[in-house]
Amino acid sequence: MKKNMKGFIRVSVCFALALMLSFAIAGCKTYVPQNGELPDGYQPNPTGKIKLQYYIANTDADKRSVNDWVASFTRKYPEVQVDAELSAVGKDVIANQIASKTIGDVFFLWETDVYNYAAVQKALMPLDSFVAALDIDLSDIFSAIKDMGTVEGRLYMVMRDYNHIVLFYNRDLIKSAQLTDPIELEKNNTWDWDTFKEYCTALTTMDEESDRKSVGCQLRLGYAPVYIPFLEGWGGHWYDKEDKKVNFISDENVLKGVTEMVDFVQANVCKFIPVDTAGVGAQSIKDTPSQSSFSNYNATTQIAFRDTEFPSFASGGKDYETKGIDWDVISMPHFPTPKVGTGATGFAVFNGTRNKDAAAALCLSLYTVDGQKAYNGQEGGSVPNVRTLADSDFWRVPFDDNTKDPENGKNYFAFISYPDADTYGQVECVIPPEIASIVKKYMQNVVPNAVNGSKAVDVTLRELEEEANQKWESIYEG
């Protein structure tokens, strides 16, 4: 009896193990490998619980955007429960959570982080294999936005909006100088760099006693989304990821773009704005005659053009209106090779998530009409990244649209104009962070160095190239 019982137990255990193994093998078919590749014919089944971390929830509008997005997503996938953690913490907290593998399944990222976390730290799960499986139409996404989340040919980050550099302009100053409204020039495709320089010259007077004291423009030329188009606007290629080097002095077209930028400021028609106002270059340029004078010019009443982005559109516009100034926005002027600095923040999936289907589906829902309407369809939203929503009314707030009110409406077209010219707006988007920091250090000071006479453009760029390339080589040697 005992012998039979032992045999029965052995058979039962073997059967149980075999059954468990068969379930495990079957179950393995539902898992996605760490590299994000999906088995042929795999159909994602978003269910279960995931954690979403959004760490710049500084306002009620920010929180509403995320909550509306999550609500829209769960209406489509009711079997998914999203635990949204909305906070306002520093990037260092998120970096520590990524390093310790305690980050949520889906989390917010700046565009400056994606290259580092995807290519260097391998902390992000590729999403491109889920695109077709979840029926996402990437052809409807503004290409620069899609590319911004792509590293080494794979999609790692989904951007929440579409944002590129435009110009505020004081229409009263334009009229006083008897110049054609730039919107008319844009319609005729004659709003180019040479025309812009002519306008800035005509709009600048440094006579302190003049009734029309003004300067042509104010540009943040120490800010990457503004200066990168200069690096590429004359056909230049300032970085080479294949050969692992930057080309600031060795590519004559990059040098041409930087020289144009410097000459423009030296012509005393542009107020230079750095990023780090405490920087050495930022201080030294204030000591030059023109920049010292321009430092007292009021941004809304005495500066004809100044660069901005959509998140500053409402507050900046209201400032003009409070001062009783006729104003509008206009696209950046076309360079010989049209380029516009573009940026966006968004969300990525942690490579260690245990619920890949739901996490990928939530992220990629931002590349759908429903997702964009939910996220950007209220105060606190932004320009949708889906092309088919470009002409929609829901994001064209808070001012009237000039297509419906030609006399008083604003030129919302500027925010979606010639998207094929968009280029990466941040250095960190395309090169390793160690190299990016070197580029930013020198580009912060190349204009001030030249304007105050302390260092010629070619000297600064040669030093930049040598230091950056030595660093890049040392990182990858061997």
| pLDDT of amino acid 26 | 36
Calculate mean pLDDT across residues 108-119: 93
Mean pLDDT of 425-441: 93
Label residue 37 by pLDDT band (50, 70, 90).
confident
Q: How far apart are CA 182 and CA 371, in angstroms?
A: 34
User: What is residue 90's predicted lDDT score, i.e. its pLDDT?
Assistant: 86
Tokens of 409: 């409406």
Instruction: Inform me whether the pLDDT recorded for 11 exceeds 50.
Output: no
Integer angstrom CA distances of residue 416 from 20, 180, 189, 412: 56, 22, 15, 8
pLDDT recorded at residue 17: 42
User: How many residues appear in the chain?
Assistant: 478
Question: What are 17-36's pLDDT values in tens digits?
Answer: 444 434 333 333 334 444 56
Give the three-class secondary structure for 478. coil
pLDDT of res. 221 = 93
Q: What percent of the chain has pLDDT over 70?
A: 87
Instruction: Please state, as a whole number, how many other Cβ atoms lie within 10 Å of the Cβ of residue 125.
Output: 26
Q: How far is CA 196 from CA 186, 202, 264, 340, 431, in A?
A: 11, 10, 11, 15, 31
The pLDDT assigned to 39 comes to 84
Handedness of CA 349, 355, 357, 359 (dihedral sign): negative
34: Cβ contacts below 8 Å, ≥ 6 apart: 125, 351
pLDDT tens column, 155-214: 999 999 999 999 999 999 999 999 999 999 999 999 999 999 999 999 998 666 666 689
Annotate 395-417 with b (16+ C-beta within 10 A) or e (fewer): bbeebebbeeeeeeebbbbbbbb
CB 49 within 8 A of CB 83: yes
CA pair distance 250, 245, nearest whole angstrom: 11
Four-residue CA torsion sign, 105, 108, 113, 114: positive
Q: How confident is the model at residue 58 (pLDDT cuts 50, 70, 90)?
A: confident
- Reported as a single tens digit per residue, the pLDDT across 311-320 is 999 999 999 9
By the 8 A CB rule, do 20 and 13 touch? no
- Residue 266 is predicted with a pLDDT of 93
Which are the contacts of 432, defined by CB distance < 8 A and separation ≥ 6? 115, 116, 119, 120, 472, 475
> Look-up: residue for tokens 């989904």?
158
Lowest mean pLDDT among 16-25, 145-154, 292-301: 16-25
Per-position DSSP letters for 216-243, written without gaps between them: EEEE-TTSHHHHHHHHHTTS---EETTT
Cβ pair 220, 273 in contact under 8 A:
yes
- Cβ-count burial 318-356 (b if 16+ within 10 Å, e if not): ebbeeeeeebbbbbbbbbeebbbbbbbbbbbbbbebebb
The 10s digit of each residue's pLDDT in 209-263 is 666 689 999 999 999 999 999 999 999 999 999 999 999 999 999 999 999 999 9
401 backbone φψ class: left, alpha, beta (φ>0; ψ -120 to 50): beta
| Contact present, 469 and 251 (Cβ < 8 Å) | no
Q: How far apart are CA 333 and CA 304, in angstroms?
A: 14
pLDDT surpassing 50 at residue 448: yes
- Residues 366-372: what's their mean pLDDT? 97
- What the chain holds in terms of domains, given with CATH numbers, is 48-163+344-389 (3.40.190.10), 169-342+420-476 (3.40.190.10)
Three-state DSSP at 386 gives strand
Q: How confident is the model at residue 452 (pLDDT cuts 50, 70, 90)?
A: confident
Cα 394 to Cα 206, 373, 379, 400, 411: the distances in Å are 42, 8, 10, 12, 15
Angle between helices 252-266 and 193-202 (to 10 degrees): 10
- DSSP category for residue 121: S
- Residue (of 27, 54, 39) closest to 363 by Cα position: 54
Mean pLDDT score of the chain, rounded to an integer? Answer: 88
Name which residue leads in pLDDT, 289 or 168.
168
Q: Tens digit of pLDDT for each residue in 81-102?
A: 999 999 988 889 999 999 999 9
> What are the residue ranges of helices labelled H in 59-162?
60-76, 91-99, 114-115, 128-133, 143-148
- Indicate whether 7 pLDDT > 90: no
Query: What's the token pair of residue 26?
Result: 């079957």
Tell me which DSSP letter residue 328 carries. E
- Lowest mean pLDDT segment, chosen from 243-247, 286-290, 400-404, 455-459: 286-290
| Mean predicted confidence (pLDDT) in 371-375 | 96
